[in-house]
Structure 1
Amino acid sequence: MLLAVLLPFIIAIFIPFLSKWKDKFHTGFIVTAVPTVIFIYFAQFLGSGFDPVSREYTWIPSLNMNIVFYLDGLSLLFVLLISGIGSLVAFYSIYYLHKSEQLGHFYVYFLLFMGSMLGVVLSDNVFVLYTFWEFTSLSSFLLIGYWHYKEGSRYGALKSMLITVFGGLSLLGALVFMSVITGTSSIQQMILQQELILNHQFFPLILVLILLGAFTKSAQFPFHIWLPDAMEAPTPVSAYLHSATMVKAGLFLVARFSPMLSTSDWFFIIVSSVGIVTLCWGSYMAVRQTDLKAILAFSTISQLGMIMAMLGFGTKVAVFAAVFHILNHATFKGSLFMVAGIVDHETGSRDIRKLGGLMTFLPITATLALFASFSMAGVPLPFLNGFYSKELFFDSAIHLQQTTTGFIAFLKTAFPYLAVFGSIFTFVYSMYFFFGTFRGKANVHELPKKPHEAPFGMLVSPMILVAGVIVIGLFPQLINEPLIAHAASAVKGFDLPGHHIAFWHGIKLPLIMSLTVIVFGTVLVLSMSKWQGIYRFIPGGLSLNKFYDGLVDRTVEYSSALTKGYMNGSIGRYVRLIVGAIIIGSFGIMIATNGFRLETGNLAEVTITELFVAVMMVIAAIGTIIVRNRIAAILILGVVGYGLSLLFVIYRAPDLALTQFIIETVTLALFLLVFYHLPKFENHTQSAKTKTVNLIISIGFGALMTMVAISAHSSKMFDSIASYFIENSYKLGGGDNIVNVILVDMRGLDTLFEITVLGIAAMAIYGLIRLRGNRKGD
């Protein structure tokens, strides 16, 4: 299982080298094999007798924190979607992206995102989950901004990252809270201690923070604004991120923590309300769009809202319908995004106002769009999977338990009406997408390219997805017990018998609601030109995008003004600010924690030799302030360093004395070399205010260091570790010199990073020397 998660990351390392041969062999064929292998591996877990599988790998044992992958019905559903849709999208991209594109970059980002999503849905450790969660934000940023030379791509990528990373940081706060409260970082262990979390005083904050992470990732209102701008990405990215993977991560998060949180009334109120509002607003705004991918973006928002609402309902039927629709949505929405890509690829336009009548030119593509769009609309036909989950949605909305009063009772009464309202516009935008693109009068003369059917390779992936729409519609029981029932059981926290999926249940209220949607939706489709003026009033001039743009612009403006306030090029000011902040912060902490300690009982006697060296160092330090010659100041400052070396010798620490002596000598030589080339010292007059500030900061910092040194020596919070080094340096390190063993073996990792820093500095210096030589023509 670990290899399955790491495989995309491992292959991503080799993609830049493999992409060099893209003229002979398209890189996409290699990439397609990766999710295909993963899909085949995890498909073996399908079946009515599937039990959860857990795998643990050592990560940070000292913190009792390990990488734990947990595969149950819910994570299996998402893994199969991530790998299955991923293989189809990768194959589709072979024919969508030309070899002249930077394919190496694209497929590296693609594999990084795939591996990150697999990590999210399989992780049981909350901190591992968060790590992968943020990797999805970073890799999606790179994918959305793939065409970085386009302003729209850069804007959409930054917008998506800012909003989703904000949610990710909120999620991290919730995970830390829950880990501290329960004493574990395992999600399954947290679920077992749900009462401890539900009854904690910080539970409302935990709930809000988790839902912020979920809502931002799954484009719930009002955080949905990043998704339409993300459509600037190549169509394969849209088909993958925004139909089956990234936007479903928020749904997965809510579903994974549902056994712990769903018993709270606030969970029901917030999740179901936000979901149903998102459904209505997304479907309403989709009809306003003129770009094919923008229509699909808002349709995705509405579909995600519907699934989120069902997770908020929390009933058995609602949860079953939610996980069922997650699968259905991936099939018809993934194929529709690919259809939009084909139309753009073969006509040169996605503007629905210029399209129309394309069924004559793209008959296969039009047929695929017909099945997918009608399934998305929830048209009651037995071979369309979308109808089944849509009817279950209606059924769950009307069967919410009416056992409460007040606001919750009002919501339960209103939800069925809002469900019908949102579904009416879902029907409208589905018909708008299909008939506006493929029926009506053909406007071939307005298109940049003469339309013709796409190559067969580009049609394979949407064909497979549409075949999934039809097969699930005709034989829904094929995926019921083996997959959907297990996923629903994982969300509810106990075994949930598979809900019987059937096309005909008689003339009942859910069917009447579906027929109502079709009747009113048809009327609105036929009269679109007469009522679309309503968008001038709702939303009119109001726009969350304007609020976002204003917030970002004001943040940049105020940050720039603040930075310019202290970044004026004066090194003296920078030092004063930095040292002043250290003084205030450190003194504040010492006062608040009563951190100053003074213990004189364990001090050695001070001899005349030590006193003489100390006085000499003090005089030299004062001399550096008085002298007005740079070279002389550096030489006098060297007295302080060499004086410290003498103290080390007196206290019988020859290693430290030798180290200090060498460092002081090298530093002194470097100072002299640098200052020799500087202009002569000029005594700039300083104001009394500046001198006073400098004096206060100097005395304050000296006092702080003195107090810290005294407190550090006087505070013995732990037993001395010296005896451990004495006993084990030779046995473990194999060296007689304890100091050397500590530096090389006991502090091996620390020393390794020090050497790494020096190595990087050496390479930087070498690069500067080469650059200087090139400028001289050497």
Structure 2
Amino acid sequence: MYWFHLLIMLPFIFAVFVPILYKKFSFRIHTGWFVFIVPLVVFAYLLTFIPTVADGNTIISSLPWIPAYDINFSTYIDGLSLTFGLLISGIGALVILYSIFYLSKEREALHNFYVYLLLFMGAMLGLVFSDNVFVLYVFWEITSVSSFLLIAYWYEREKSRYGAQKSMLITIFGGLAMLAGLIMIASSSGTYSIREMLLNVEAITSSSLFIPAMVLILLGAFTKSAQFPFSIWLPDAMEAPTPISAYLHSATMVKAGIYLVARLTPIFGGTSTWFWLVTGVGIITLLYGSVNAIRQTDLKALLAYSTISQLGLIMSLLGLGSAALYFDLGNETTIYGTAVFAAIFHLVNHSTFKGSLFMVVGIIDHETGTRDIRRLGGLMSLMPVSFTLTVIGSFSMAGLPPFNGFLSKEMFFTAVNNASSMNFFHMETIGILIPIVAWIASVFTFIYSMILVFKTFRGKYKLDNTRVVHEAPIGMLISPIILGALVIIGFFFPNVLATYLLKPALTSILPVLSEAAVLELKISAWHGWNLELWMTVGVVVLGTILYLNLRKWYKVYQYYPQSLTINNIYNRALDKMEQFSGTITNSYMTGFIRDYLVYIFGFMILAVGGAIWLLDGISFDSRDDALVTPFEIAIMIVAVVTAVTVLFARTRITAIVAVGALGFIVAFFFVIFRAPDLALTQLVVETVTTALFLLCFYHLPQLRKEISRIPFKLTNAIIAIGAGSVVTIVALSVNGNRLFDSISDYYENSYELAGAKNIVNAILVDFRGIDTMLEILVLSIAGLGVYSLIKLRLAKEGSDERAE
């Protein structure tokens, strides 16, 4: 099954060749046509797994990565991962097809765009199919980095940079929290495999790290899936090109958190903490997104908040459905399993109708030059296909028949009504609030869906007559038409999808469900005149009334103080953090080398000296030391005097000569210690260094003021004596406390091992040959840099002379 690993890596591999293809063929053919092949191949290959997964089988494969730490690139194909994989590749193929006609090959840096897109696609595929938690985390962070690059694609725009920065800060913060949580559950279960964790849930739930791990992992999921209060990054991410918004922010990236919650529900589900965190945050996000969507004047901003709302709906359903794991509920597992079933169904539905709506909004912006709802209107006759697609997508989002959103919205109402009758997790007291909040949010969802349709396409035409508005070319319409068709097909044939994908995904999330309970789940458009249908009727009636009277109550948004908005709080907090960090940085980044040396040596004295003192590490043993001869003492005294001369020299020439003399004195030590090669090397290096010093100082400008006296500074003396003392104590203590055998014995066999009679040369050339090669490479690069700078300066001086 290594072919499947290659399939996941295919987008990464192809991304390497995109710049080459762009450079060679961009003037003749759009680069997107080459990239389009990648998701198409992935989607077609994933389709072959549907029969196997539908039969209840799973496919496991492992590729060694870091076997020493039991970290392998393991893949796990079941109903849940396959559903996400098909969405990632299928929607990805349609988005790339759409981008071919949306992005101009003459005006856009398409090689950057498609490289970033392929990186993101590969990361998402790796994320949903990974079984190892650390491999999953690596792909998780790649999605954050690649989405940052995609959002900032038009980097010359300030809003694009701001949106990319905000998404990066929030999602990376969540990712680091998630990593800590994954480490906790890995240590509790004794394995890095998610599949094996599901078999050892008791060890995790009984651990003291269970709740902290849960909270940290949910932080990662909530930030990635734009849950309240972390949802503020999603609207600003709309500065990305529309194909990116359609892909990242409707079908894939924002669903990563949903996937994580669904995948780990068998571990954390069945507890009140998980139930209330996931359900509560989801319901609040649902209401927050729907209420704020109405006040938006930008079409993409409206869709952004609607996405936040719909993600909250899916998250709340996963939380409600986790109650099936509380205890053996018998036949009632079907009741709570319906919530998770509805979550997966609405996840697929949302990808279809929201992807189509984003593409249509991109078409409107492309053809009219604006996304401002206040400037739009009367486009129905000019753009009939776009109008039809908007009606399909918006009505499905509003939960109206005959569109797939109606079916999953009815199941959502069923789930929240069932929740109100729970008699555990304290639902008997506050459970009634869940269906009420869900119904109110649905009313607002209906209103912003009507705004999207009628404010844009109905009413008076408001655009400047100098711009000719017409329907988009057929190439740009193919992708949204396919998604719109799936919205309608999903209404009439939902159980085909349920049989082959949704039910296998459901059993992956709720393994407690019996086969009979899963088979009992059916999707039907008509259940009679039940409570759910009356709730839908109430949504339509009240929503229509509120929409028709929008101007009368819309001003209520003005009463909310802007200073209390989450965005404003984020901006102010970011400004304060920047000011604080700037103050701290300016306090120690003084520009003086002396200060930096004080910090470095001061920290070394405190850290190393303090550790030696506290751990009682001062211990000298000189029994095996060689005797120090008078000749060696004399050379040492001369070296000390020479070093002090450097410190107190009043002229440059004196300091340079003293430094050179000190180097030559060190060479004498090598001669005494019978290392003639080292002595020769030291003499050559010191000679060259001294000559270079003289050459450089000769060209330096003369000092304006001669230094007559070196001022004494007590701080310098303390730091110098302290650093020297600590290093001396460490050297003597280490020499007197040898815990391991010296490695010098190994190098003494240099002649047998490397055929070299000189140990030092053998170490440099053979034992540490790669290290030496890299050092030479660094020096070569530095030399080339210096040479280039000199050549550029000479060339500039020559051009200036010619100009004169």
Aligned pairs for 1:109-124 within 5 A: 109-124=116-131
* CA distance in 2 between partners of 1:58 and 1:419 (Å): 47
User: Quick check: 1:310–1:393 contact (8 Å CA) kept in 2?
Assistant: yes
Aligned to 1:479: 497
Change (3 A) 1:766 1:205: farther
Change (3 A) 1:438 1:207: same
Aligned to 2:781: 760
* CA distance in 1 between partners of 2:119 and 2:763 (Å): 39
Aligned pairs for 1:301-320 within 5 A: 301-313=308-320, 314=322, 315=324, 316-320=337-341
Q: Does 1:161 align with 2:168?
A: yes
Aligned to 2:411: 392
**Structure 1 residue 205, shift from structure 2 partner:** 2.5
Question: Which deviates further from its counterpart, 385-394 or 589-598?
Answer: 589-598
Aligned to 2:393: 372
**Structure 1 residue 231, shift from structure 2 partner:** 0.8
Letter in 2 for 1:571: I
**Structure 1 residue 258, shift from structure 2 partner:** 1.9
> For 1:287-308, what per-residue CA distance to the aligned partner results, in whole angstroms no more than 9, with x for missing partners?
1111110110000000111111
Q: How many residues align?
A: 772
**Structure 1 residue 540, shift from structure 2 partner:** 5.5
Aligned pairs for 1:428-439 within 5 A: 428-439=447-458
Change (3 A) 1:470 1:658: farther
Q: Does 1:694 align with 2:707?
A: no
* CA distance in 1 between partners of 2:709 and 2:214 (Å): 59
Q: Does 1:713 align with 2:716?
A: no
> For 1:240-269, what per-residue CA distance to the aligned partner results, in whole angstroms no more than 9, with x for missing partners?
110011111111222222222223321111
Letter in 2 for 1:371: I
Q: Does 1:81 align with 2:103?
A: no
Q: Does 1:12 align with 2:15?
A: yes
* CA distance in 1 between partners of 2:164 and 2:85 (Å): 25
Structure 1 SS opposite 2:504: helix
Aligned to 2:384: 363
Aligned to 1:2: 5
* CA distance in 1 between partners of 2:748 and 2:432 (Å): 75
* CA distance in 2 between partners of 1:89 and 1:356 (Å): 26
Letter in 2 for 1:304: L
**Structure 1 residue 601, shift from structure 2 partner:** 4.0
Letter in 1 for 2:577: T
* Residue of 171, 176, 188 corresponding to 2:183: 176
Aligned to 1:292: 299
Letter in 2 for 1:634: I
TM-score (normalised: structure 2): 0.90
Structure 1 SS opposite 2:449: helix
* CA distance in 2 between partners of 1:6 and 1:699 (Å): 57
* CA distance in 2 between partners of 1:282 and 1:563 (Å): 39
**Structure 1 residue 685, shift from structure 2 partner:** 6.2
Aligned pairs for 1:525-540 within 5 A: 525-538=547-560
Question: Which deviates further from its counterpart, 305-314 or 284-293?
Answer: 305-314
* CA distance in 2 between partners of 1:151 and 1:399 (Å): 47
**Structure 1 residue 164, shift from structure 2 partner:** 1.3
Aligned to 2:35: 31
> For 1:559-614, what per-residue CA distance to the aligned partner results, in whole angstroms no more than 9, with x for missing partners?
22222223232222222223222322333343454444433344333333443333
Letter in 1 for 2:503: A
Letter in 1 for 2:523: I
**Structure 1 residue 44, shift from structure 2 partner:** 1.2
Structure 1 SS opposite 2:622: coil
* CA distance in 2 between partners of 1:319 and 1:661 (Å): 77
* CA distance in 2 between partners of 1:513 and 1:684 (Å): 92
Q: Does 1:340 align with 2:380?
A: no
User: Quick check: 2:602–2:719 contact (8 Å CA) kept in 1?
Assistant: yes
Structure 2 SS opposite 1:776: helix
Q: Does 1:63 align with 2:65?
A: no
Aligned pairs for 1:551-566 within 5 A: 551-566=573-588
Letter in 2 for 1:394: F
Q: Does 1:426 align with 2:445?
A: yes
* CA distance in 2 between partners of 1:142 and 1:632 (Å): 55
Aligned to 2:707: 683
**Structure 1 residue 238, shift from structure 2 partner:** 0.5
Structure 1 SS opposite 2:419: coil
* CA distance in 1 between partners of 2:747 and 2:429 (Å): 70
Letter in 2 for 1:605: L
* CA distance in 2 between partners of 1:58 and 1:655 (Å): 46
Aligned to 1:413: 432
User: Quick check: 1:349–1:448 contact (8 Å CA) kept in 2?
Assistant: no
Question: Which deviates further from its counterpart, 293-302 or 647-656?
Answer: 647-656
Structure 2 SS opposite 1:349: coil
Change (3 A) 1:25 1:406: closer
**Structure 1 residue 456, shift from structure 2 partner:** 0.2
* CA distance in 2 between partners of 1:495 and 1:674 (Å): 80
Change (3 A) 1:421 1:403: closer
User: Quick check: 2:151–2:160 contact (8 Å CA) kept in 1?
Assistant: yes
* CA distance in 2 between partners of 1:664 and 1:227 (Å): 61
> For 1:544-568, what per-residue CA distance to the aligned partner results, in whole angstroms no more than 9, with x for missing partners?
1111111121222222222222323
* CA distance in 1 between partners of 2:646 and 2:668 (Å): 20
Question: Kindly, what percent of the aligned residue pairs are identical?
Answer: 50
Aligned pairs for 1:126-141 within 5 A: 126-141=133-148
* CA distance in 1 between partners of 2:501 and 2:286 (Å): 26
Letter in 2 for 1:548: Y
Structure 2 SS opposite 1:399: helix
Aligned to 1:586: 608
* CA distance in 2 between partners of 1:495 and 1:649 (Å): 82
Letter in 1 for 2:532: P
* Residue of 253, 256, 259 corresponding to 2:263: 256
Gaps of 5+ in 1: none
**Structure 1 residue 448, shift from structure 2 partner:** 6.8
Structure 2 SS opposite 1:396: helix
Change (3 A) 1:334 1:638: same
Change (3 A) 1:428 1:698: same
Structure 1 SS opposite 2:36: helix
Q: Does 1:54 align with 2:60?
A: yes
* CA distance in 2 between partners of 1:618 and 1:145 (Å): 58
User: Quick check: 2:416–2:435 contact (8 Å CA) kept in 1?
Assistant: yes
* CA distance in 2 between partners of 1:251 and 1:283 (Å): 19
Structure 1 SS opposite 2:346: helix
Q: Does 1:209 align with 2:216?
A: yes
* CA distance in 2 between partners of 1:282 and 1:164 (Å): 19
Gaps of 5+ in 2: 325-336, 800-804
* CA distance in 1 between partners of 2:217 and 2:751 (Å): 48
Question: Which deviates further from its counterpart, 166-175 or 370-379?
Answer: 166-175
* Residue of 470, 479, 485 corresponding to 2:488: 470
User: Quick check: 1:178–1:197 contact (8 Å CA) kept in 2?
Assistant: yes
* CA distance in 1 between partners of 2:539 and 2:678 (Å): 83
Letter in 1 for 2:482: I
Change (3 A) 1:24 1:558: same
Change (3 A) 1:649 1:150: same
**Structure 1 residue 489, shift from structure 2 partner:** 2.1
**Structure 1 residue 648, shift from structure 2 partner:** 4.2
* CA distance in 2 between partners of 1:154 and 1:642 (Å): 56
> For 1:621-646, what per-residue CA distance to the aligned partner results, in whole angstroms no more than 9, with x for missing partners?
22222222323323323344444444
Superposed CA RMSD in Å reads: 2.6
**Structure 1 residue 411, shift from structure 2 partner:** 4.3
* CA distance in 2 between partners of 1:162 and 1:614 (Å): 56
User: Quick check: 1:628–1:683 contact (8 Å CA) kept in 2?
Assistant: yes
